[in-house]
Amino acid sequence: MSARHPLDPLTADEIRAAAAIVKSERGVTDRWRFASIDLREPSKGERTPAREAEVVCWNRDDGAAFKGVVSLTEECMRSWTPLRPGEHPPMTPDEFHDCDEELRKHPRMIEALNGRGVTDMDLVLFDTWAYGAELVPERFRGRRIAWADVWHRDSPEANPYANMLSGLHPVVDLNTMELLELEDADPGSAPRVMGEYAPGLVPDLKLRQDVKPLGIIQPQGPSFTLEGNELRWQKWSMRLGFNYREGLVIHAVAYEDAGRPRRIAHRLSFAEMVVPYRDPTPDHYRRTAFDIGEWGLGLMTTSLELGCDCLGEIAYLDAVLPDSHGEPRTVKNAICIHEEDDGVLWKHVDDRTGAQTRRMRRLVVSFHATVANYEYLVYWRFHQDGNIQCEVRATGIMVTTPFADRPPPYGTVIDQRTYAPFHQHFIVARLDLDIDGERNTVYAAEAAPLPTGPDNPHGLAITQQLTPLTTEREGIQDYDWHRQRGWKVLNDGVANGLGTPVGYKLEPGAAIPPLIDPDSPVVRRAHAIEHTLWVTPYNADERWPCGEFPNLSAGDSGLSSWTARDREILNADVVLWYVFGINHVTRPEDWPVMPVDTVSFWLKPFGFFDRNPALDVPAHPHV
């Protein structure tokens, strides 16, 4: 094989080679599907690893599913392990499309649609969702089951998610593509909604006339360099990866200080996303999406367009992903890399010397995923002062439902007799930080105001209280607004010029409480959402916070079961799992397409440098 960097994603040839080896060595036929073919990342510290792929596939005839490791270097199988009972490979985009094709020609489906006055099948969309095991009807348990919504668009180009056919839900065996059940409750008359957002379809839309061009010009090109997947910008360096499940992965993040690169993060990614709809009515009670574990943010990644998604001098990286037949598919321009002006970085006006002002720039690495009706736009931003901001913008089209007379209390009315159910988006960021090395300790950092007393006669004193988190149980932390709680990751073995340990602080943003019965089936599958932060000692096998196979799962073999061992995390190679997101109380303004809802958190140097590291930013690089 070619001389790839050990962390570079699999190439199209490597995906093909891995599939061919599995097919020839394990008798895998066309009746099988591949759920994933992914780089087996070398574990930390491994120097010259062999190139290996991890493959999950299953036999559609008997449902038998396996995880295999393939050596691409030696062109052979390394291992072949059956999935445990109750474990199901993730959903694949091919099944979504095949299911849609089968359902649109199924006589029972056509008859049900005719009964509702829908005769043109080209206007219908079958939107397949995964299940949690406990909600699968008893008689179908153990099979590869999915359920679907049925949507009807007003015209061939119209918004497919504008009109839900309420009460109509096929339940399908994805291996046989058999329609097992068709729920068909009488919906009453359908309301007339205006669910269009494309300019040609919005009635009486007049586009604003007072918007003049705004260009980003970089006559000498951008200030970053991208060689293969290695990205360098000013003092930052990192390596970009991508996989079917997490989408963008950022490896080996370092900042050059006094001529030497200093390590900050070994690996940054999103490891899970849990989206429970908080509406118990028949159209929604099963709606609990695991967009990463069930579907894959990488597989849902869409191509970016210059001038729309990103402005300026852009570099793009393509992504190569497997389909369910083991064939590679390329997403052009999957990752965008560019610089942005970000307002003022620092400033002071002095009577004698006048103003010293520096403008800030940030390096942005981003990708966009379209998960059926919804979009997630993910931005990792690296700033000149050492800050890292992780931002997510949620947009796209909300799930909406007509109601007969009175709206249910579980959503907001957004159009004629139509409501959008409340739901939550929990994102679990996996942050494998290595602050100047692997031995780090996480401290809860809280504001501690002191009581009024002899040393504090006016009640003004406030201190910072640092509490080391020594074991995994202590590492389970919640956001606390009253104490301004954040988390410092310190390397107690490395001191800065002031004699204090070097560190970075995780500044929580968009932390949301679960607001849900801890015994509800979705929590049993996703205990991660119950807390803001989890801390574990690094283990190469611990990557998926709600378990490796959340599709059709009943329980959670991720964070909750790892941390039950209560391992030491003091002065250890720690991994932080930060849970943030949106408690989406739907608004009329989110319809028919949602303006971005933006959430973020920060990683900020805290004593990592001895002083403001951006004193050396020149005054006028922008003109």
State the CB neighbour count (10 A cutoff) for residue 474.
Answer: 16
**430 and 268 Cβ atoms separated by less than 8 Å:** yes
Work out how close the CB of 424 gets to Cu ion at its nearest, in angstroms, rounded to a whole number: 8
Stretch that binds Cu ion, among 20-28, 252-260, 479-487, 583-591 (CB under 5 A): 583-591
Comparing CB distances to Cu ion, the nearer of 501 and 514 is 514
- What is the spatial distance between Cα 79 and Cα 65, in angstroms, rounded to a whole number? 14
Rule CB under 5 A: choose which of 338, 383, 584, 604 binds Cu ion. Answer: 584
Amino acid at 447: A
Comparing CB distances to Cu ion, the nearer of 193 and 273 is 273
Comparing CB distances to Cu ion, the nearer of 100 and 597 is 597
Q: 540-579 mask for Cu ion (x: CB under 5 A)?
A: ----------------------------------------
- What is the spatial distance between Cα 524 and Cα 77, in angstroms, rounded to a whole number? 35
Work out how close the CB of 542 gets to Cu ion at its nearest, in angstroms, rounded to a whole number: 28
Work out how close the CB of 453 gets to Cu ion at its nearest, in angstroms, rounded to a whole number: 48
User: CA separation (Å) from 180 to 106, 132, 140, 285, 417?
Assistant: 12, 17, 9, 19, 31
Work out how close the CB of 195 gets to Cu ion at its nearest, in angstroms, rounded to a whole number: 16
Work out how close the CB of 597 gets to Cu ion at its nearest, in angstroms, rounded to a whole number: 7
Phi, psi values for residue 232, rounded to 5°: -130, 135
- What is the spatial distance between Cα 458 and Cα 450, in angstroms, rounded to a whole number? 10
Comparing CB distances to Cu ion, the nearer of 255 and 376 is 376
Stretch that binds Cu ion, among 298-306, 407-415, 492-500, 581-589 (CB under 5 A): 581-589
Report the residue closest to Cu ion, judged by CB.
584
Burial letters for 320-339: b for 16+ Cβ neighbours within 10 Å, e otherwise?
A: bbbbbebebeebebbbbbbb
Provide DSSP, 540-562: TT---TT-S--TT-SS--SHHHH
Dihedral angle computed from the Cα positions of residues 423, 244, 253 and 488, in that order, rounded to the nearest 10 degrees? 30
Q: 192-231 mask for Cu ion (x: CB under 5 A)?
A: ----------------------------------------
Comparing CB distances to Cu ion, the nearer of 400 and 557 is 400
Stretch that binds Cu ion, among 256-264, 341-349, 456-464, 580-588 (CB under 5 A): 580-588
Positions 347 through 366 that interact with Cu ion (CB under 5 A): none
Comparing CB distances to Cu ion, the nearer of 288 and 387 is 288
Amino acid at 230: E
Under the binding rule (CB under 5 A), the answer on residue 278 touching Cu ion is no
- What is the spatial distance between Cα 118 and Cα 13, in angstroms, rounded to a whole number? 45
Comparing CB distances to Cu ion, the nearer of 44 and 587 is 587
**608 and 410 Cβ atoms separated by less than 8 Å:** no
197 annotated active-site: no
61 annotated active-site: no
Work out how close the CB of 423 gets to Cu ion at its nearest, in angstroms, rounded to a whole number: 5
- What is the spatial distance between Cα 252 and Cα 230, in angstroms, rounded to a whole number? 10
Provide DSSP, 257-284: ETTEEEEEEEEEEEEEEEEEB---STTT
Identify the bridge partners of residue 412 per DSSP, sorted by sequence position: 420
Comparing CB distances to Cu ion, the nearer of 278 and 584 is 584
Work out how close the CB of 334 gets to Cu ion at its nearest, in angstroms, rounded to a whole number: 23
Work out how close the CB of 398 gets to Cu ion at its nearest, in angstroms, rounded to a whole number: 6
Residue partners of 309: CB distance under 8 A and separation at least 6: 336, 366, 368
Size of the site for Cu ion (CB under 5 A): 1
Distance of CA 117 to the CA centre of its chain: 39
Which residue in the list 8, 149, 184, 291 is annotated as catalytic?
A: 291
Stretch that binds Cu ion, among 9-17, 312-320, 556-564, 582-590 (CB under 5 A): 582-590
Which residue in the list 374, 379, 443, 578 is annotated as catalytic?
A: 374
State the CB neighbour count (10 A cutoff) for residue 577.
Answer: 26
Identify the bridge partners of residue 465 per DSSP, sorted by sequence position: 446
Catalytic residue numbers, as ranges: 291, 374
What residues make contact with Cu ion under the rule CB under 5 A? 584
